[in-house]
Structure 1
Amino acid sequence: MSATPTHGTPLQRRAFLGIAGGLAGTGLLTACGGGTKLGDDGGEPDDAPSFSGGEYDGPKVTLQYWNGFTGGDGPHMRAMVEAFNKEYAGRIEVRNTTRRWEDLYPAMPTAITAGKGPDVAVIHNDWVATFAARSTLVPLDDVVSALGTKESDFIPAVWRAGIYQGKRYSVPLDVHCLADYANTRHLTRAGLDKPPTDRAGYEDALAELKSAGIRNPFWMPNKWPAHLMFMSLLWQFGGELYSEDGTRALWGSEAGVEALAWMREQITKGHSPAQVAQDAQYNAFKNNKVSFTWDGIWQINDLKANARDLTWQMAPLPVIGDRAAVWSASHNFVLTSQAARDDNKVQAAKFFIDYMSKQSTQWAKAGMIPARNSVREQAEVAKLPQTALAKDMEVFHFLPALPGVGDVQSKALELAVQKAVLGRAKPAEALAEGVRTADKLLAENKQKYAK
């Protein structure tokens, strides 16, 4: 997702959710094996010293900090790190390394094993379980306790996403999701002042826009972010992605068929060209050719800076199914097993995470939705356009905490969605084939990540 999602470049947006497939294929995840040695006693990550909050009072340390904020969010993160380094000069120096997400994830495990990786990092929620299963991360229950944080101050789904096998491995920084972007001038041509919120209204608007001369008002991608659209619709129709025990793919259900059929229908009805090239739908929207496009909130700053001839609005996804739901993800701070080899680095890294987690107001300006309810209620954050998407916290849906889930997504779900959208198979057939592949991968993952 230029995911920083933010997601910087088109390549990032295509890659960040499916990198696990490449990682598993090259053996990079298994390279960090069944538990990295953390000290002279060979202790496990759980043995890292506890954190009680307050100021760091140890000797000066240098922390390696990795993240994938290469897009419009990058300057905001750099400013936050620079402010930290200025305030704690002489005690903690944080060296910020920014890499594309598709490069960062494969590099982390082997770099950490070699002692040349990050001490602290930001990763997406769907990578937490994978890295935790390989003992690449250190639990952060003590940091959460010191921060006084609890589920009631967070969007519930994002809070739970950081837990793997009963331990917390991440501190959520934000939430980012899909949104419905609308061309305001086109809305006027359809007699609307804002995007429709339900299926009937949305479909009527698309028909009206075609009648008003907009040849293809809603381009349907077959690649990024098509699978994010499918997941949103799947949840809207009452479906689920995977069984609770992570052994079966459930997205081939009737809800999945309905979701994918609606996506394909936008092409057969003439609302979209038959084949939309990668990122073409977003570029067409920026150039006033498309009336509606579903994309991530990480596009807000890009539209503000680079679409000066476009007048646009942003709204939650319309409810095409029976309930409101939207694919969502989250950036999370994690502490690595590399830092856990040095007690002082552990304390300094936890102090840094503590500090950064309190900067949610500043981070919201990067286009993100703060994970904390209390921060979203602040006046300067409440007025930001993305904050309005969080009025109903139950709409946010996340990938489950399954090790290797990205592998299943990229090799099964995404390919099934693409095949159906392109008309190469009926939705039910494409999903059934994808589920068969997914179930095999899930079984392999059970063995691969077994402790």
Structure 2
Amino acid sequence: MKMKTLLSAATLLVTALGSNSALAATEITLFRFFGGCSDEYANVTDLSKAVGECGIIQVLTNKFNAENKEGITVKTQSVEWGVYYDRLSANIAGGTPPDIAVMHRSVLPNYLMRDLVQPLGKSFAASGIDAADFLPVAREAVTSKGELWALPFDLHSLVWHVNADLFAKAGLVDAKGQPKMPTSPAELMQHAETMKAKTGKRYFAIPSAVDPMPSWQYLTWVWQQGGDIVDAEKKAQFESKESKEALRLLNALYAAGHASSKNDYAGAQQAFIAGEAAVLVNGTWGVDTYEAQSKDPKNALKKYVVRDIPTIYGKDAIWSDSHMWVLPKQPKQDPAKQKAALAFLKFLNDNNFHWARTGHLPVRASVLKSAEMQALPHRSEYTRTATIARALPPIENQRAILDLLVNELNSTWLVNKKQEQALSDIQRRASQILRRARK
């Protein structure tokens, strides 16, 4: 009897060890952009030491790998932003999709139409992710036909990053010494002229080469006029009076020297940090980084503040998008990998505050209202952004239309293509894309 008991115990121990061993061997792949910084943050698990998008997502992954009790390893494949979706689509088509992939709200419809991602509503409930805590805008971003298809991670939008010292030097401050924001297109041009005359510096630093930043500013100004680039019937509207006016204003700023068409993304950031421009047009994702740069005594940027993009036309609106995490459909489902992927998604959701430290707006109501969130630098300076953020409707091939928009708009200040011709070309080609999407 004793021998049988010992044998049974031994069998149970071997079974348990075998089970733990299987768990320990569970490796899942994570596709993401956000840059490569694995060397800089190698083995770092202290989230307080992480700065910026790349640093925070890398340290979050390190921390999960080091501390999860299930023996799961997340293996990151960092892909350059410009080719990310091509690479993701190629892997899916080749039968080697990652277990988890980051995705934009603007791209999700393409993958839903092709049935390439897994529904997650029931999985969230089973793994302890409280979808009821998602902000309405976040829940909307990941919902289609009543199902949740992704874990929302942030709301990100354009903001104006401001050198308050240059505004003070130009006399563009209010009675409290705060930077004055323009309230009309004419006042924007006037402020830009004053900045140049009083300080010798440009008003704007805008990534202006092969970069979407000017297009996002253009969209903001189209929406502020009450217009849109796609109507309710999913027909292109690029030759509307609102579209023409938004592009006119952008070109007027470049033509007058208030922004340099020679700045790429890195060049625009450097111009701002070096004190050569009063306003950097960039996203919420830069807040944490620029705050850190302003504390470096070597940099000319000292008094850094953030502002919601001012409403210079009649309606409040700011371009926005969202990052989210999806589970691509697999050629053959592996329950262990599925469980591991959901465990990592829960970990990311639990740590949404740390991702919001980048400057992005959190997607969880409990995080947005938390004392630690309110204590972060500059958050009170762009609180309206979450309430006036706009996004394009969920249309297939949205990314192709946005790429077309970037190429054509940028050509008007890079190679002096006529504005009317650029908008006409966008209208024609976007209409072709949208017709395919309506079929």
1:131-170 alignment, distance < 5 Å: 131-146=111-126, 147-150=129-132, 153-156=134-137, 158-170=138-150
Distance 1:216 1:188, change over 3 A: same
Shift of 1:212: 0.8
**In the alignment, which residue of structure 2 is the partner of 1:43?**
none
The amino acid across from 2:277 in the alignment is V
**1:257 aligned residue (244, 252, 255):** 244
**In the alignment, which residue of structure 2 is the partner of 1:418?**
410
3-state SS of paired residue (1:370): coil
Give aligned-pair identity as a percent: 23
CA contact (8 A) 1:237 1:258 kept: no
**In the alignment, which residue of structure 2 is the partner of 1:207?**
193
1:431-446 alignment, distance < 5 Å: 431-446=423-438
**2:312 aligned residue (296, 314, 320):** 320
**Do residues 217 (structure 1) and 203 (structure 2) align?**
yes
CA contact (8 A) 1:416 1:434 kept: yes
3-state SS of paired residue (2:276): coil
The amino acid across from 1:259 in the alignment is A
Shift of 1:355: 2.6
**In the alignment, which residue of structure 1 is the partner of 2:374?**
382
**2:281 aligned residue (283, 294, 298):** 294
1:48-87 alignment, distance < 5 Å: 60=23, 61-70=26-35, 72-87=52-67
Shift of 1:316: 0.9
TM-score of the aligned structures, taking structure 2 as reference length: 0.79
**Do residues 232 (structure 1) and 220 (structure 2) align?**
yes
3-state SS of paired residue (1:199): coil
Shift of 1:113: 4.4
Q: Deviations over 1:123-170 (max 9, x none)?
A: 1211211122222211112244453323x74152x3322234443211
Distance 1:407 1:421, change over 3 A: same
Q: Deviations over 1:294-340 (max 9, x none)?
A: 11122234324446321222111111111221111211011111286
Distance 1:252 1:195, change over 3 A: farther
CA contact (8 A) 2:317 2:390 kept: yes
Aligned length: 387
**In the alignment, which residue of structure 2 is the partner of 1:402?**
395
RMSD, aligned CA:
2.8
CA contact (8 A) 1:175 1:328 kept: yes
TM-score of the aligned structures, taking structure 1 as reference length: 0.77
CA contact (8 A) 1:376 1:387 kept: no
CA contact (8 A) 1:73 1:367 kept: no
Distance 1:245 1:167, change over 3 A: farther
The amino acid across from 2:333 in the alignment is R
Further displaced range: 324-333 or 305-314: 305-314
Q: 5+ unaligned residues in a row in structure 2: which ranges?
A: 1-19, 37-51
Q: 5+ unaligned residues in a row in structure 1: which ranges?
A: 1-56
Q: Deviations over 1:354-406 (max 9, x none)?
A: 23212111222233221223212111111324633234533111233222211
Distance 1:340 1:313, change over 3 A: farther
CA contact (8 A) 1:297 1:386 kept: no
CA contact (8 A) 1:172 1:371 kept: yes
Aligned counterparts of 2:72 and 2:207: Cα–Cα separation in 1: 46
**Do residues 358 (structure 1) and 350 (structure 2) align?**
yes
